[in-house]
Amino acid sequence: MRSISDTIERLRKLRAAKGQAFHPDGVLSDLGPFGTNPGGLEARAHIPARLPLHSALVVVLHGCTQTASGYDYGSGWSRLADDYGFAVLFPQQTQSNNANTCFNWFVPDDIGRGRGEAASIRQMIETATLRYDIDRRRIFITGLSAGGAMANVMLVTYPEVFAGGAIIAGLPYRTATTIPAAFDRMRGYGTPDATTLQSLLRNASGHKGPWPTISVWQGTRDATVAPSNAMFIIDQWRGVHDVPPKPDLIETFDGHTRQAWKSADGRAVIEHFSISGMGHGTPIDPRSGYGRSGPYMLDVGISSTFHIARTWGLVASFDRRQEQDLDFNLPIQPMSVTTRVSSSGPTSGIQNTIEDALRAAGLMK
């Protein structure tokens, strides 16, 4: 069994072995003030020059040793947003919170509703929603590794906020509350059974539904986050979606396995992409025009960024791109996006208006 120090050192060596550091495009800007920020996070954003009214918002969480700009550079989310017209929000961890810039998905004070880092991310989302006139029915979240685990934290603790989420090499909610336990769970040891996992989810918010759709991505040769964690995440979400352990659909897609679980009315509410032979990282395909290979950005011939956006209904095809390199003729039908009631609110960019709205929502005192 690897020690904690061994695992951290292996992550550093893996990053170094995969080439020089990224050189981000510099397309992200600072979000500015976004509330009381109890988790001490930073916030970056990319807002396309011609952002449509009532557009969607995608929240993107980087992994350990990464930055928001570096993850965007590798994953291609900002370029996709420019091509298809939606906003992107990038929470960023600080070294004062975590020396390896991991989101603290295992710290109780950071993963509860209204607490710490989770509350900070929620405040960022509310601020961006008001400032950029976001459609509240189309807010999504994704992340890699610790960012994937924190994306799951947000989906579990604030399910009413999100229409869907995509967890890449992440972990189930609240299965670890100490650093040693976190490393055990990463290795696939000591995770509770499905009943306990589902109780942890239900007890986190008191939400009665509807619930966000879930997309889980995992490499079969991931030596950092054991592939078994993908099924643990699915087990955690099966209860609220009322789907059985066995998937309704298994198919091969670009040489990789995709499973889907459907609700009683035939809607795909959970999906799992198992990426054959991939280690720890985000699956990308630079040929698609979105993403660049680098540390934890793995060119495996499939763009998770594009496919995730497609399942959320943000991208129908490549037809709207100005420079169309490939026509993939993708057969996958978009996952059903959870329908939410849109709540009207002020759209002014004036900071006082935003702060008043945050207070009214109980997100700021």
Q: What is the mean pLDDT of each run of 10 residues along the chain (365 residues)?
A: 52 47 69 98 98 98 98 98 98 98 99 99 99 98 99 99 99 98 98 98 95 99 99 99 98 94 97 99 97 97 97 74 33 55 42 60 60
62 CB-near residues (< 8 Å, 6+ apart): 68, 70, 71, 90, 92, 93, 101, 143, 144, 147
Look at residue 317 in the predicted model and tell me its pLDDT.
55
Q: Dump the DSSP string for 298-326.
A: EESS--HHHHHHHHTTS---STT-SS---
Q: What is the Cα–Cα distance from 277 to 116, expressed in whole angstroms?
A: 36
Residues identified as active-site? 145
Residue 337 exposed, middle or buried by CB count within 10 Å (0-12, 13-18, 19+): buried
Look at residue 359 in the predicted model and tell me its pLDDT.
60
* Residue-range domains of the chain with CATH: 4-360 (3.40.50.1820)
